[in-house]
Amino acid sequence: MAFQHIDPRVDPALASHLSRRQLLRFGAVAGVGLAASPLLAACGPEAGPKPVASGSPPARPTGVLRVAGNAEPVSLSPVIATGVSDLGVLLNNVYEALFRYKPGTSELEGVLADRFESSADAREWKVYLKPNIKFHDGEPLTSSAVRTSFEFTKSSAAPLGFFLPANATYDDSDPAVLRVTTAAPYPDFARFLTLLSVMSPKIVKAGQDAIVRTPTGTGPYKFVSYETAQRIVLEANTAYRGPGPYLERIEVPIIPDAAARVTALRSGSVDLVLRVAPQDSTSLRGASSLVVRQESSWANARLEWFTNTAPMDNVKLRQAIAHAIDRPALVKAILGGVGGKVDDSWVATGMYGYAPPKTTNYDLNVNLAKSLLAESGLTTPVELTIGWSPDEGAQFGQLAEAIAGMLKPVGINVTVKSLPLPAKNKIVRAPAGTAREWHGTVGGTRFISGAASHLIVQNFFRNELQVTDPTLNQLTDRVVVVPDGSERTQIFADIENRVAELALISPLYGEVTLHAHKNTVQGFTPPNDGLLPNFGPVYLSA
């Protein structure tokens, strides 16, 4: 997978393999036959990033926040587009999910729901909705409305529908409680609910065209307009339950070029830019009128291999490559030392299932790399091709070229190729068992579901990396059905160790996301996934 996995992977602009892990911990009152689900003990830091704020929010919505948009939306439907690109301004602001993650942690907190409960075997779930919430069109939030939204998402064959359990039964007889029963254990159900926007039943019944024309949710802002290739406009939902909204309007001018977004911030034509390139952050820090936020993000950069394509089916070759890559040098040279932190896990830091491998270490060791290559039995120089996509970010091409330079002295010649993301995805997602024209890819994987299992349930190892290892496949089959607890924690750790032993993935660094905004922007908290900000608490100071 070339990455920036945005996990249903439909975003050609962000190319953020959006995908992956997190944990939840949510207290609930036990119901009859149901265990209160403290759901998942958090692995991330307990204290998350704090909003920058001075003074007090206004008594009524005032001012216009201009947020630089990075690309044309794939769609205005939260069913089709999965939070990538500029649909991000709709999710969490126009639309809301039942739960979200507390900033900087892997703990769940309620948005449209107060809490949930699950049975000990993770087959029965009860979600308790908050009272007196209405959609922007006046429709009430009920268990029936949630069911309608979920069933539409599942039946539309949209990417996000994958995260709703198959063959589930819904009981909406109590308007305040949605009961869900799954055919098989589904321990990540509540985590995956963070990905699913709840839409007004009125527009769902009107069909996909209506959803695209008039996005209608429960959030702090209402959809006003979208001008193709120009801008998205939102306005305050004055009936919102709070906090906020404190802004009269949000405008999202679409500025695809990263340098142009930075220029717009400097000139004052926009107020906030998400995901600033590391090379731009240094100069922005010197501007007294600007604030640069630097936060860990649920994303990482990595080198992934298609392991049934010779010679990548040779584990010694993969291990040799891992030892030949100077990861700290990559972070320093390409990210200026500020855009990433070296990490050994295939999972992004702080998510549920994150457990860096303890049995295998791939620190730089060129002599060991040469020795392992000799043990592989392959004729040197070994010839490889790795690919990347400019749509995912120029840094991935720089990483690929730098890695090629590091491998040459070991006895491995690497040809670097690039393709637009759609063409690259055809290679990455070729049917399992077929040879790929590349041996591997360099890219980024963005985890938005709060848990490592986000990718595992999609058979990432079998389908994309073509893994046939019985041990790993047995572990991944088990981890998606074992309820949260010590057994599941150990399985995640075993998966980490096995992935490292087989050198299926060479983690390059965990992403540190950089956001920049005017110092008049108050109350902004960087999102955990780096993509989907909540502007409800944001206001502008004088």
Mean pLDDT throughout 423-446? 88
What pLDDT, on a 0 to 100 scale, did the predictor assign at position 39?
37
How much is the average pLDDT of 236-250?
96
Backbone angles phi, psi at 423, to 5 degrees: -70, -40
pLDDT at 30 (0 to 100): 29
Instruction: State yes or no: pLDDT of 278 exceeds 90.
Output: no
Question: Do 105 and 205 share a domain, yes or no?
Answer: yes
Among 343, 364, 390, 352, which residue's Cα sits nearest to residue 511? 343
Query: Is the per-residue pLDDT at 344 higher than 90?
Result: yes
- What pLDDT score was predicted for residue 430? 87
What mean pLDDT is predicted for residues 348-359?
91
The model's confidence at residue 95, banded by pLDDT at 50, 70 and 90, is very high
* Residue that the structure tokens 């100071």 belong to: 541
Within a domain: 314: yes
For residue 369, is it within any domain? yes
Residue of higher predicted confidence among 388 and 279: 388
Percent of all residues in the chain with a pLDDT value above 70, rounded to a whole number = 88
SS3 category, 412: strand
Q: Has residue 404 been placed in a domain?
A: yes
Q: Flag whether pLDDT at 15 surpasses 90.
A: no
Please tell me the least confidently modeled range out of 70-84, 103-117, 209-223, 281-295. 70-84
Cα(511)–Cα(295) distance, rounded to whole angstroms? 9
| Pairwise CA distance, residues 342 & 330, whole Å | 9
Residue 102 located in a structural domain: yes
pLDDT higher than 60, residue 203: yes
* Mean pLDDT of all residues in 276-293: 87
**Is the per-residue pLDDT at 449 higher than 70?**
yes
Rounded distance between C-alpha atoms, residue 14 and residue 531, angstroms: 9
The answer to whether residue 441 scores a pLDDT higher than 80 is: yes
Residue 87's pLDDT is 64
Q: Tell me the residue range of the domain where 146 lies.
A: 23-53+75-218
Instruction: Examine the domain organization and report whether 503 and 358 are in the same domain.
Output: yes
Query: Is residue 298 over pLDDT 70?
Result: yes
80-89, 220-229, 330-339, 372-381: which has the highest mean pLDDT?
A: 372-381
> Which of 218, 252, 283 is the last residue before a domain boundary?
218
Same domain as 468, residue 336: yes
Domain co-membership, 357 together with 448:
yes
- Token pair of 105, please? 């942690």
- Tens digit of each residue's pLDDT (9 = 90 or more) over 484-518: 999 999 999 999 999 999 999 999 999 888 899 99
Q: Span 429-439, mean pLDDT?
A: 85
The span from the CA of 24 to the CA of 14, in Å, is 27
For the chain, first and last CA: distance in Å?
Answer: 46
- Cβ atoms of 48 and 104 within 8 Å: the answer is yes
Is position 266 within any domain?
no
Residue 464 contacts residue 7 (beta carbons within 8 Å): no
Q: Tell me the DSSP string of 199-267.
A: PPHHHHHH-HHHHHHS---SSSEEEEEEETTTEEEEEE-TT--SS----SEEEEEB---HHHHHHHHHH
What is d(CA 208, CA 303) in angstroms, rounded to the nearest whole number? 37
Q: Do 63 and 250 form a contact (C-beta atoms < 8 A)?
A: no
The most confident of 75-79, 340-344, 388-392, 472-476, by mean pLDDT: 472-476
Q: Which among 199, 218, 237 is the end of a domain?
A: 218
User: Which CATH number covers residue 397?
Assistant: 3.10.105.10
Mean pLDDT over 398-423 rounds to 95
Sorting pLDDT into bands at 50, 70 and 90, what band is 88?
Answer: low
Same domain? For 196 and 303 the reply is no
What value does the mean pLDDT take over residues 332-353? Answer: 90
**Helices H / strands E in the chain, number of each:** 15, 21
Q: 507 and 362 in one domain?
A: yes
Average pLDDT score over residue span 375-388: 97
The pLDDT value given to residue 68:
93
Percent of the chain with pLDDT over 90: 63
> What CATH number does residue 134 fall under?
3.90.76.10
Q: Which of these ranges, 173-182, 237-246, 385-394, has the smallest mean pLDDT?
A: 385-394
Residue among 187, 236, 246 nearest 537 (CA):
246
Q: Does some domain include residue 260?
A: no
Cα(292)–Cα(286) distance, rounded to whole angstroms? 10
Q: Of 33-47, 75-89, 421-435, 458-472, where does the model show the most confidence?
A: 458-472
pTM of the full predicted structure?
A: 0.85
**Which residue among 155, 185, 218 closes a domain?**
218
Same domain, 304 and 213: no
Residue 264 lies in a domain: no
What is the count of structural domains for the chain? Answer: 2
What pLDDT shows up at residue 219? 97
CB 52 within 8 A of CB 240: no
Strand partners, 292: 516
Q: Is residue 123 part of a domain?
A: yes
What is the distance between the alpha carbons of residues 208 and 206, in angstroms, rounded to a whole number? 7
486 SS3 class? helix
Asked whether the predicted pLDDT for residue 122 surpasses 80, the reply is: yes
**What mean pLDDT comes out for the span 528-539?**
88
Band (28; pLDDT cuts 50, 70, 90): very low
Mean pLDDT of the chain: 86
Q: How confident is the model at residue 17 (pLDDT cuts 50, 70, 90)?
A: very low
Q: What is the pLDDT of residue 532?
A: 81
Q: What is the pLDDT of residue 318?
A: 98
What average pLDDT does range 293-301 have in this prediction? 88
Beta-carbon contacts of 50 under 8 Å, excluding residues fewer than 6 positions away, are 525
How is 25-81 classified by DSSP, letter by letter? ----PPBTTBEE-------S-SS-PPPB--S---SS--SEEEB-B-S--S-S-TTTS
Beta bridge partners of 113: 129
Q: Does residue 495 share a domain with residue 365?
A: yes
Q: Is the pLDDT of residue 303 over 60?
A: yes
Q: Using alpha carbons, select from 427, 453, 455, 430 the residue that is nearest to residue 441.
A: 427
- Residue range 68-91: mean pLDDT, rounded: 72
